[in-house]
Structure 1
Amino acid sequence: MAAILGIDTGGTYTDGVLIDPKTRAVCAKAKAFTTRENLASGIAACMERLPEKLLRESVMVCLSTTLATNAVVEGRSGRVGAFLMGRSFDRPLPAARVTRLRGELDIKGRQLTALDEDEIRRKALEMRGEVDAAAISGFASVRDPSHENRVKEIVRQTLGVPVVCAHELSQQLGFYDRTVTAVLNAGLIPGITELISAVETVLDSYGLAAAPVMIVKGDGSLMRREYALDRPIETVLSGPAASIVGGRYLTNEDDALVLDMGGTTTDIAHIKGGRASISAAGAAVGGWRTQLRAADIYTYGVGGDSRLAFDPQGGLTVGPRRVVPLCVAGVHAPWLAGELRQSMGRAMTELGEEQYAECYRLTGRVGENLTAREQTLLGLLADGVHSLFWLADRTGCDAAKLGLEPLVRRGLIQRCGLTPTDLLHAAGRFSRWNAETASAGAAVMAARAGKAEDVFLQQAIDTVERSVGMACLCTALGLTGCDANADTIAAYLWNSAVKNAPDDLLRLRLSVDRPVIALGAPVAAWLPAVCGALGARLLIPEHAEVANAVGAAVGNVSVEVTALIRPDQYHEKLVVHAPWGAKAFDTLDEAERFAACKAAQYAAAEAEAAGSTAVELTQTVRPVYAERPGTTEKSFVEMQLRVVAVGAPAWNENKV
């Protein structure tokens, strides 16, 4: 029996599914912890838990990955040399080296200044050994890409590193954002190359070296690995996008909110007409605005592994910081519950308001330039997880001044603490990990709050439900155009609808008029109460806990190509501006026929390069005219012609 292997590497778990390519039914599924420093290890661990015989019959492998998002957010991209033409910026770029070249086009794509090829070679040589990849970006490259293409050839020959042009990634105006997109993409090429190589090694061990490998893009569509090696930036937000595809597939709902609650975040999107809306502003990641096509996703820092802490006023907060749940840490550290309970009194007097009796464990990374105290701390954690006060006692240092945060920031140790997952274990609603350690953590927090453990536990559960409910309300407000003060409005709505105290003058009943498709391992515990308060119909489909991997496995290839027709400077000819170049015509009919034919060919070729052999083309034409003052006549301004090519990914038909 043949199968399609879908893999999703989330912030906490790596999920895997095997799907029948004919019926598209889920045949097997598995989970393993994501290994953030080496994603391939978590993928291998997940694959080990799938039926080996069926796994070896895989005709295609589909992967959604957090690599690009994490690398940008954490500043771990490769060193990039940026070559700019036409303009410079007074704003920073995410590049190691930036240089400006001669060669300039105006906004219509006409050459103002020619390239100086000797200058290009000289400036490229100055970067040799200092960059891992290069990005080429010209002011008007979306009107005519010829300058960018020639610079790319010279830089690639001179430096011998991967080179990407801005016009290859976006046809939108906005020189700065387009340049940022190109620079980020170039910096991700070494990392995606390493990941795909590692994944191929894992696949080879199962005899799957010949299986096509597809990667999920930020809009939920697929691209083959060879295509992804040049465009890794398009994998940003690939995990949340895969969940949208999976949620729609598992429920067959065409108009709904899709909520994916993972370990680190809760992601919410709206599907309408069976498709997720695409962000008009482009994806933003790590503080950088890009011009990438990506699903319009609302992300909130509340998940199963979100840290529960006290704010300065003594109120309980959830997230956005992620920690290892105490119940997970306690599986291999049975002594941890005792260490936590011993710290109950001390946590109230020796720590600041936000802190409490946390625990720490090694990540396995090797540190350099460690102080004597840091070496001692790492040595104490060599046998497993220990509490903050246990470490303080062993080092003879005050707990508040132990200096563990620098080790956390450097990725040498991980913080473990009370999370929503622990609350479920302590309340007896979930039993996968160590409930005793979770209860001990809850007891410490209850003591800090001056409350009985059962009272604190219920209040903490209410706090998590409120955070998830607020996320849903903020998303609904945003989708209906009410972005201003959404947090304040959502808080009022939630409090009024849930509290309903006897003396309330105004009582509200909420009704979210779309079903909520809830995905992720924790949703069965949290979403019934949340959707009850919101007045929303809740759908938790079978396989909801691995929906992202399902979405990866059932996705399609989709490529969009846009051509723009505009008058030339003297309004004598019509110029087609497109990714393949610029060309002038005498009439609009000639220009439109050429653009339509060429765009269809180009889109089909790009879809084939992305991994589909049979595509369906959809064409839309949007002409723009302006009224002439004082007359009823209209002047032609421009025509935008868009072709979308969609097709199923090609797999090894011989195995099916």
Structure 2
Amino acid sequence: MRIGVDVGGTNTDAALMDGTRVVASVKSPTTKDIASGVISSIRKVLQEARTEPSAIKTVMIGTTQFTNAFVERKRLSEVAVMRLALPATESLPPLTDWPQALVGAIGRHVYFIDGGYEFDGREIAPFNERQVRAAVRNIKELGIRAVAISSVFSPINSTMEERARDIVLQEIPEARVTLASDIGRIGLIERENAAVMNASLADLSAQVVGSFRDALKNLGINVPFYISQNDGTLMSADYVERYPVLTFASGPTNSMRGAAYLSGLKEAIVVDIGGTTSDVGVLSHGFPRESSVPVDIGGVRTNFRMPDILAVGLGGGSIVRANGTLTIGPDSVGYRLLEEALAFGGNTLTATDIAVAAGQAVIGDVARVKRMVSKDVVNAALDQIHRTAEEAIDRMKTSVEDVPVVLVGGGSILISRDLKGVSELHVPARSAEANAIGAAIAQVGGETDRVFRYAESGREAALASAMREAEEKAIAAGGDPAALKVVDVEELPMSYGPGDAVRVRAKVVSDLLQ
């Protein structure tokens, strides 16, 4: 048996599964102290399933802690940024265009060093060990223990970044070092930004992993646990400590994987209606479609792997205002829904109250809601809710054809009729806890994004190399070497490179190594 947990801004969901069967699933309000909310949800699902903690073999957790910490600029580590690029790139230094408050939180400790590569792998300048050691001595004197290292075109050749890392660890053994080539893709600034973001979460990642480990021990669950990453797969606890940034946006991907599992669909649009927002994404081969453009996180432009998700301000806790022009959201009562909504004795009209008044849900004090909300307001609100959902779906479609849609999340009670542009609307059983189920069924994944020159390596050898690297990453994340499966290989000719330069992306998944 295994347990999946997903922490959202409003609710924390847990699901207990035995093989492919969902034994029990629960939904609880998210607590300010996320770890205690996770403990409460696990305890609750065990009680509902009448299962002893000793029967649990694995726990999977999706958490928003790292995303929240970065966006809110809290609990971040000071970071030293080493860029191996001179004499190039000096006009565009690290942390360019970062919000000043964020730079203030991590410090502006920037070191330019000779090095880097051209797009074809030729050196811009030789690796300069003397400069690296001088920078590391200064970093050590400042007491900084989080280091991000970037180099021009390191996805083609990461040797200089790796040599610099080795020197850092020689001088500062306790340092936590992030290489840009391990996280980002082609594009120096965005790749470097992702590495700095990851390094800033170094101390927090150790604390979060430690708190989850202690929480499970207190529950009597002494088994390995995994954290959801943002491509719909899992990472081992040790891997999360190294790459916490890969958990960003893991909540929507859990919901999408859960939607694929519950509906049986591999190609569809998923609408996950939570307490505050609706997240709309596309399933491709049963996994979330990745964003093809740089993503802004907390005001920082990055290009590491992120799901292609459209978030709109519509959720079960969205505040409805009917004075004059009717509006719904984007503000929400969030986790205070059970206190502030009309259905629960509060004084705030929410989207959930609209669903109750319309007879779409029987929760709370139905009679009170129907007395307080007129039919005209209910009908106008329902029209706007459905119009918002239709517009979001239309924005995520890649053609004018109607598409199947899977509706999940606790706020799915807001949708009561067919939607324009939708060929089939699926609302599977246990859809309210699809996110936790998605966490529980997730596999381990690995991905690589490299540039090859086919004239030098040959196409088959290049593809084999990319797939081998993705397999190694999947195994490092906790995957079973005997169950590796290549799910996607993409070849993209580089228009600004020589005729044979091709960017290759490969993704591999595997079952958890038991």
Q: TM-score, normalised by structure 1?
A: 0.68
Q: Which residue of 1 aligns with 2:97?
A: 92
Q: Which residue of 1 aligns with 2:251?
A: 239
| Residues 279 and 331 (structure 1), Cα distance of their counterparts in 2 relative to 1, 3 Å cut | closer
CA distance in 2, matches of 1:283, 1:65: 19
Deviations along 1:308-356, one digit per CA (max 9) or x if unpaired, are 3469xx422222222248761159999x65xx5xxxxxxxxxxxxxxxx
In structure 1, the gaps of 5 or more residues are 341-416, 444-452, 481-510, 568-573, 575-586, 627-634, 652-656
| Contact 2:390–2:419 under 8 Å retained in 1 | no
Deviations along 1:229-263, one digit per CA (max 9) or x if unpaired, are 11111111101011111111111112221111011
Percent sequence identity over aligned pairs: 26
Instruction: Kindly state the Cα deviation for residue 180 of structure 1 after the two structures are TM-superposed.
Output: 0.9
Q: Which residue of 1 aligns with 2:29?
A: 33
Secondary structure of 1:56's match?
A: helix
Q: Which residue of 2 aligns with 1:372?
A: none
| Residues 205 and 190 (structure 1), Cα distance of their counterparts in 2 relative to 1, 3 Å cut | same
Instruction: Kindly state the Cα deviation for residue 622 of structure 1 after the two structures are TM-superposed.
Output: 4.5
Q: Which residue of 1 aligns with 2:329?
A: 319
Secondary structure of 1:198's match?
A: helix
Please give the residue correspondences for 1:532-547 in structure 2 after superposition, counting only pairs within 5 Å.
532-534=419-421, 536-547=423-434
CA distance in 2, matches of 1:262, 1:548: 10
| Residues 467 and 594 (structure 1), Cα distance of their counterparts in 2 relative to 1, 3 Å cut | closer
Deviations along 1:154-179, one digit per CA (max 9) or x if unpaired, are 44443834221111112x32111011
CA distance in 2, matches of 1:472, 1:273: 19
In structure 2, the gaps of 5 or more residues are none
| Contact 1:135–1:183 under 8 Å retained in 2 | yes
Instruction: Kindly state the Cα deviation for residue 42 of structure 1 after the two structures are TM-superposed.
Output: 1.0
CA distance in 2, matches of 1:253, 1:329: 37
Q: Which residue of 2 aligns with 1:646?
A: 509
Q: Which residue of 2 aligns with 1:194?
A: 207
Instruction: Kindly state the Cα deviation for residue 266 of structure 1 after the two structures are TM-superposed.
Output: 0.6
Deviations along 1:596-644, one digit per CA (max 9) or x if unpaired, are 5654543333221111122134785859599xxxxxxxx8522445543
Which of 3, 7, 12 lines up with 1:9 in the alignment? 7
Q: Which residue of 2 aligns with 1:50?
A: 45
| Residues 515 and 596 (structure 1), Cα distance of their counterparts in 2 relative to 1, 3 Å cut | closer
Q: Which residue of 1 aligns with 2:315?
A: 303
- Structure 2 letter corresponding to 1:18: L
Please give the residue correspondences for 1:49-128 in structure 2 after superposition, counting only pairs within 5 Å.
49-52=44-47, 53-76=51-74, 78-81=76-79, 82-86=81-85, 87-88=89-90, 89=92, 91-93=96-98, 94=102, 95-107=106-118, 108-113=121-126, 114-115=128-129, 116-128=131-143
Which of 206, 209, 217 lines up with 2:229 in the alignment? 217
Which of 250, 261, 280 lines up with 1:268 in the alignment? 280
Please give the residue correspondences for 1:404-553 in structure 2 after superposition, counting only pairs within 5 Å.
417-427=348-358, 429-433=360-364, 453-476=374-397, 479-480=398-399, 513-523=402-412, 525-529=413-417, 531-534=418-421, 536-553=423-440
CA distance in 1, matches of 2:369, 2:334: 11
Instruction: Kindly state the Cα deviation for residue 183 of structure 1 after the two structures are TM-superposed.
Output: 1.1
| Contact 2:3–2:56 under 8 Å retained in 1 | yes
Secondary structure of 2:512's match?
A: coil
| Contact 2:342–2:369 under 8 Å retained in 1 | no
Secondary structure of 1:105's match?
A: coil
Aligned length: 489
CA distance in 1, matches of 2:387, 2:502: 48
Q: Is 1:554–2:441 an aligned residue pair?
A: yes
| Residues 162 and 333 (structure 1), Cα distance of their counterparts in 2 relative to 1, 3 Å cut | farther
- Structure 2 letter corresponding to 1:539: H
| Residues 428 and 226 (structure 1), Cα distance of their counterparts in 2 relative to 1, 3 Å cut | same
Secondary structure of 1:214's match?
A: strand
Q: Which residue of 1 aligns with 2:182?
A: 168
CA distance in 1, matches of 2:188, 2:27: 42
Between 1:603-612 and 1:542-551, the stretch displaced more is 603-612
Q: Which residue of 1 aligns with 2:172?
A: 158
- Structure 2 letter corresponding to 1:637: D
Which of 204, 209, 221 lines up with 1:208 in the alignment? 221
Instruction: Kindly state the Cα deviation for residue 425 of structure 1 after the two structures are TM-superposed.
Output: 3.8
Instruction: Kindly state the Cα deviation for residue 135 of structure 1 after the two structures are TM-superposed.
Output: 1.4
Instruction: Kindly state the Cα deviation for residue 292 of structure 1 after the two structures are TM-superposed.
Output: 1.9
Q: Which residue of 1 aligns with 2:485?
A: 616
**Over alpha carbons, which structure has the higher Rg?**
1
Q: TM-score, normalised by structure 2?
A: 0.85
Runs of 4+ in 1 over 6 A off after TM superposition: 331-334
Secondary structure of 2:415's match?
A: helix
Secondary structure of 1:606's match?
A: helix
CA distance in 2, matches of 1:295, 1:255: 15
| Contact 1:217–1:223 under 8 Å retained in 2 | yes
| Contact 1:330–1:437 under 8 Å retained in 2 | no
CA distance in 1, matches of 2:71, 2:43: 30
| Contact 1:103–1:147 under 8 Å retained in 2 | no
